[in-house]
Amino acid sequence: MNHSKLTAMALALVALANPTAWANALDGRWVGTLTCSESTAIRSPGFTLPLTLNVTGISGSSERTDEHSVETFSYQRAPSGQLDIQSQGRRRSDTETRWVTRLSGHAPNGTLELQGQMFAADGKTLVRERCSASLSRTAGITVPPASAQGPQATSRSGLTHTTFQIREVAPKTPPKNQAATTPGPGGAPLGEGGVLYFPEDWLLGAGQAWHYRTSPRPQAQPVPVRQATPTEAPIIQRAEALMQQIESRVLVLLDAGEIVSITTTGGIRLDSRLLSASMAKTMTALAAGKAMCAGRLSLGQRADAVIPALSGTDLGTATLRDLLMMASGTTEPGERDYLGTTAEETRFHLEGAGNLERLLATPGQSSAQRGVLSKIKPGERFSYKSRDPYTVAMMLEKTVGMPATRWVEEQLLAPSGAEHSAVLATDRSGYFRGANDGMRLALIDWIRLAIYVDKERKQDSCFGRFIRDMGSTQIRAPGLVNHMSGYGYFTFTENAMAPQSFWAAGYGGQRIGWSTEAGNARIFMMFSNSADRHMDLVYPIARDWMRLGSKPRN
């Protein structure tokens, strides 16, 4: 066996605490390397891998996974301070344990030194004669108090996402890349049977070379994790069963700033970047809310007041509030459009020599829709299209004193504690065309952002009030998205199957759902290839998950 590939050894072992004086001496995060000698059986080479160990309490266990293997670890600490570790690992293609590693040691002079060996699955046959680990405590990274809250806190159990084991289930069908789909209206991809389909190379793609990339933050605080309660377990089992029935890739259940469950159909890790689709519209609304609270914009501000190119156009008369409600009053999407932008406009303005500002000023984009007797006025009627979020993005470009992409990075991603580099789609001029459908965040950073929004919506602050308004019905929007008939600020509301919630929604089945109840901290998240048509199965799980966070009514 060549075990150099079977572990990316992000080993993190955390237990429920029962601390004593000697136990507290080892509590914290230890970082270093694990080294094992060559295999005694087939002489495969030795290896050295990074090792991270989070220690809290006397004993504990957790799992880790990478693209090659799955491994379960447990540790036990003796009153003498000795730490004993045992792992059981297997390749992803196996169902039975393939190897066992045992290590023991102490922490003399502040360095944790462990020695041991690797064995075959029987725990007796020696595979690697010498294994050792040398770790140092990372300065400033310890287990915070159990009372800490928010995405930067450690949970009451002491667990964090660094030790979390994503649950994988078998998919209904393998995901399709774009080449296996057929073009629909405006070139939108369709799967078998003509259903909406979000190709795998879109969902997990890297974006274009000219797109804006945010700066990673390697020292970001971990996201808390806790075990499911007996009342939560049946809902999680239903979620896992559902993931085997529909073309969905990731389903996440969160509560009070903690990860409770993540289920995928394979190949997705916490650092995998996932494309937003139209959930980016909701993030654009949040960015606009930040600009309002900073005094850069107001809901009543007209687009032409800050975008000179729209002077004298119908689009220019729309206010920020009109735009956030998808009610600019401008022309409806046509048969050749995908949400109001033709393939030719996309190629020239969003990917070629033109740019977003010039696109919005064209008559096809900036003219009002004609009603029976007159023009449709801004704010009069909901009409879902890319033009309105594009205009909001351009208003940000003109008012916040920096590119809108940087504004999103500094005002949303940084405060939410994002760890990994995000990709925000731009045109070649650097304008934020991703405001409509082009934000790529690591899964763990989508989780952080969702938790941040929930935390901020409960605050008595300008931004908190904006989020509460954003998640409230501002205009009627029946018939566009199944089961939802209201629209806030680039969010969907009035979900008949999951009452008292508001939603970021994207093509193919991308969803983040938050409760609207003041004290309810339950969040539902999903990334999919083609789950839009199965929301009658998805929303009941979200509903029942959120109901667990509702306070009993007198």
DSSP letters, 454-473, are HHHHTSSSHHHHHHHHHTS-
Q: Specify the domain boundaries for CATH 3.40.710.10 within the chain.
A: 167-172+200-288+400-547
Fold of the domain spanning 298-398: Methane Monooxygenase Hydroxylase; Chain G, domain 1 (1.20.58)
pLDDT of residue 327: 98
Burial class (CB in 10 A: 0-12, 13-18, 19+), 134: middle
Rounded distance, CA 53 to CA 66, Å?
Answer: 17
**Dihedral through CA 350, CA 356, CA 359, CA 361, nearest 10?**
180
Rounded distance, CA 61 to CA 319, Å?
Answer: 55
Determine how many CB atoms are found less than 10 A away from the CB of residue 254: 25
Burial 162-189 (b: 16+ CB within 10 A, else e): bbbebbbbebeeebbeeeebeeeebebb
Stretches where the chain sits below pLDDT 70 are 1-27, 41-44, 50, 56-69, 73, 78-81, 92-93, 108-110, 138-157, 335-336, 552-554
Model's pTM, two decimal places?
0.73
**Is the CB of residue 356 less than 8 Å from the CB of residue 349?**
yes
Rounded distance, CA 36 to CA 459, Å?
Answer: 51
pLDDT of residue 10: 30
Rounded distance, CA 371 to CA 331, Å?
Answer: 10
CATH architecture of 21-145: Beta Barrel (2.40)
Under 8 Å CB-to-CB from 133, ≥6 apart: which residues?
32, 33, 34, 35, 51, 53, 103, 105, 112, 113, 114
Which amino acid is residue 350, in one-letter code? L
Q: For residue range 415-430, what is the model confidence (pLDDT) as tens digits?
A: 999 999 999 999 999 9
Q: For residue range 385-416, what is the model confidence (pLDDT) as tens digits?
A: 999 999 999 999 999 999 999 999 999 999 99
Determine how many CB atoms are found less than 10 A away from the CB of residue 519: 10
Determine how many CB atoms are found less than 10 A away from the CB of residue 300: 10
- Helix/strand/coil for 137: strand
Angle at 272 between CA 268 and CA 274, to 5 degrees: 95
Q: Specify the domain boundaries for CATH 2.40.128 within the chain.
A: 21-145
Pairing mode, strands 510-515 and 501-506: antiparallel
pLDDT of residue 94: 73
Question: For the sheet containing 439-442, what is the strand order?
Answer: 212-213, 423-424, 439-442, 273-275
- Helix/strand/coil for 447: helix
Rounded distance, CA 220 to CA 222, Å?
Answer: 6
Angle at 291 between CA 288 and CA 296, to 5 degrees: 125
Q: Specify the domain boundaries for CATH 1.20.58.710 within the chain.
A: 298-398
Rounded distance, CA 250 to CA 143, Å?
Answer: 28
CATH classification for the domain delimited by 167-172+200-288+400-547, as one of 3.40.50.2020, 3.30.390.30, 3.40.710.10, 3.40.50.300: 3.40.710.10
